Amino acid sequence: MSQASGNGDSEDEATTRLPRRHVLRTAGAGALGLGLGSAALAATLPDGGASHPEATPIPTPRDLGSVGQAPHLPAGFTKTFTSRFVQADGLRQHAVVGGEGPPLLLIHGWPETWYAWRLVMPALAKHFTVIAVDQRGIGLTDKPKSGYDTGTLARDMVALMDALGHQRFAVVGHDTGMPIAYALAADHPDRVDRLAVAEAILPGVTPSPPMIGSAQVNNRLWHIPFNRLADVNEELVRGREGIYFGWQFATKAVRKLPLYAVDHYVRVLASGHDALRGSFGWYRALDTTSAQDLRRRKHPLTLPVLAIGGAGSLGGNVAGTMKLVAHDVRSAVLPGSGHWVAEEAPQELLAALTTFLAPYRDQGRGTRPPAAATLGK
């Protein structure tokens, strides 16, 4: 996938032509049945926005990675949610948006996309306007060569929410989305009402394991130094995406993810030259992020925080990390779940989020998109 430019359908259509070797051999033909209808409308910017004045229609996302090309979505999903491209601060971001109520931003982890949240999004949309975004470098969002530190990634989220007309919102972040969500709450405290995070560490804050640790720790964490490498990781993984990413999904799960979901992620990661580079960008910026987190830690968060761990993965350690940087931390450990909590334990995750977000939902905080905002045709 080339960097998204929004300049026409020909570039979008080119991203769907994938080499057959990139597809997981173990996925049956049914796993590749992606024709669930095209995504609906593309977002444009609110008229008259001071920060983002341009209001140019952007092509509707229809490529692999959009709602219209996502396999096995929950019943009625496409009636509630649509894919949108949002141009803000020079970055074209892909977000899946739907529902009613105060805004709730969902930030996925590695090596996933917005699709990781699909099982919890319909229930959340009954009470919230749900925005599930592809991070910079991932899925259908642009893949520039820089800007993968969490300070910049948090600003991406602010620009996205500005463009959608949301001044204040709640945030849920998983895996790499957890440090991004933390940076968002720390760097922009006036924007975030409540923060829920799951299954990650905070670079520069969480104590690092020894270089030579137990085999179990090594199996869980070896991808972090590997992903930080400059070029050789891309050379080793390209053409073998099914092996590398399939192993990641299999070994970090208690309840195995369905093959169609793993295949979908692999297809997205194998969809273009920049896809692997973009997926490794967060890890290659860890030195910068670690220095940023050390500064953030000096000013602990005061907003309510929910720290979520899978019982078969990080468990209560997520709360232990967040207590180093926040005053008001609650813990939820999801039984029977490994690392991929939104896909392994969607009902348990929903129960935890429903309780935690209830005060935010009931107070009706957040700003809906202004009436002047229009949708591209």
- The tens digit of pLDDT for each residue in 268-300 reads 999 988 999 999 999 999 999 999 999 999 999
Cβ neighbours, 10 Å, residue 375: 14
What pLDDT sits at residue 51? 41
What pTM did the predictor assign?
A: 0.83
Which pLDDT band holds residue 13 (cuts at 50, 70, 90)? very low
What pLDDT sits at residue 212? 87
Q: Which two tokens stand for residue 34?
A: 């992606």
Distance CA(327)–CA(204), nearest Å, equals: 18
Strand bridging mode 192-198 / 329-334: unpaired
What pLDDT sits at residue 27? 33
Q: For the segment 182-225, what is each residue's pLDDT rounded down to a tens digit?
A: 999 999 999 999 999 999 999 999 998 888 889 988 988 999 99
Residue 367 has pLDDT above 50, yes or no: no
- Cβ atoms of 142 and 172 closer than 8 Å: no
**Mean predicted confidence (pLDDT) in 60-81:** 96
Whether cis (ω within 30° of 0) applies to the bond prior to 61 is no
In this predicted structure, which of 58-72, 146-160, 245-259, 281-295 has the lowest mean pLDDT?
58-72
**pLDDT higher for 28 or 347?**
347
Query: What's the first-to-final CA gap in the chain, in angstroms?
Result: 24
Residue 19 has pLDDT above 60, yes or no: no
What pLDDT sits at residue 283? 98
Distance CA(291)–CA(300), nearest Å, equals: 16
**Mean predicted confidence (pLDDT) in 61-71:** 96
Average pLDDT along the chain: 85
What pLDDT sits at residue 115? 99
Distance CA(333)–CA(175), nearest Å, equals: 15
- Cβ atoms of 142 and 156 closer than 8 Å: no
* Main-chain dihedrals φ then ψ at residue 122, nearest 5 degrees: -60, -40
Residue 318 has pLDDT above 50, yes or no: yes
Residue 233 has pLDDT above 90, yes or no: yes
Which pLDDT band holds residue 9 (cuts at 50, 70, 90)? very low
Element (H or E) spanning 121, and its range? helix 121-124
19, burial (CB in 10 Å: exposed 0-12, middle 13-18, buried 19+): exposed
- Among the listed residues 267, 249, 271, the one whose alpha carbon sits nearest the alpha carbon of residue 258: 249
**Mean predicted confidence (pLDDT) in 95-107:** 98
Residue 44 has pLDDT above 50, yes or no: no
What pLDDT sits at residue 56? 57
What pLDDT sits at residue 57? 64
**CA torsion, ordered 148, 152, 155, 156, to nearest 10 deg:** -30
Sign of the dihedral through C-alpha 90, 91, 92, 96:
negative
57-71, 103-117, 214-228: which has the highest mean pLDDT? 103-117
What pLDDT sits at residue 217? 87
Helix (H, G, I), strand (E, B) or coil at 44: coil
What pLDDT sits at residue 120? 98
Contacts of 299 (CB under 8 A, 6+ apart): 186
Distance CA(333)–CA(273), nearest Å, equals: 38
Which pLDDT band holds residue 172 (cuts at 50, 70, 90)? very high
